[in-house]
């Protein structure tokens, strides 16, 4: 699972705004404008957050006409969850 993770994943997750964006996208894909409507920040700041999430591989973007639609990248999210579970998995010595 870790092969899907890049070094930008955890810094991207460190920001509460980006975590909220991921929570919104966990319910389904959304256009950038609809995501931005949920936050009291400038469009350029929202664009920056979405760019960081995209570079980290946490979201995927596609153009539909004049809109950019974002989707949660479930492969990477599953990789993160798998990695966290591995950390807490009992070792051979403790079994």
Q: Which two tokens stand for residue 4?
A: 């899907």
Beta strands in 2-79 (DSSP E): 30-31, 59-64, 67-72
Exposure on the CB side of residue 47, measured as CA atoms within 13 A: 5
**pLDDT profile of the chain (95 residues), mean per 10:** 70 95 96 96 96 95 97 87 81 64
* pTM higher than 0.85: no
Which residues are CB-contacts of 63 (< 8 A; sequence separation ≥ 6)? 69
């Amino acid at each position: 699972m870790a092969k899907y993770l890049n070094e930008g994943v955890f810094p991207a997750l460190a920001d509460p705004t980006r975590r909220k964006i991921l929570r919104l996208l966990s319910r389904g894909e959304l256009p950038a404008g609809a995501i931005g409507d949920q936050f009291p920040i400038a469009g350029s700041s929202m664009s920056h957050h979405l760019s960081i999430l995209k570079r980290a591989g946490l979201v995927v973007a596609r153009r539909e006409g004049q809109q950019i639609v974002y989707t949660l990248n479930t492969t990477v999210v599953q990789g993160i969850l798998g990695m966290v579970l591995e950390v807490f998995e009992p070792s051979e010595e403790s079994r």
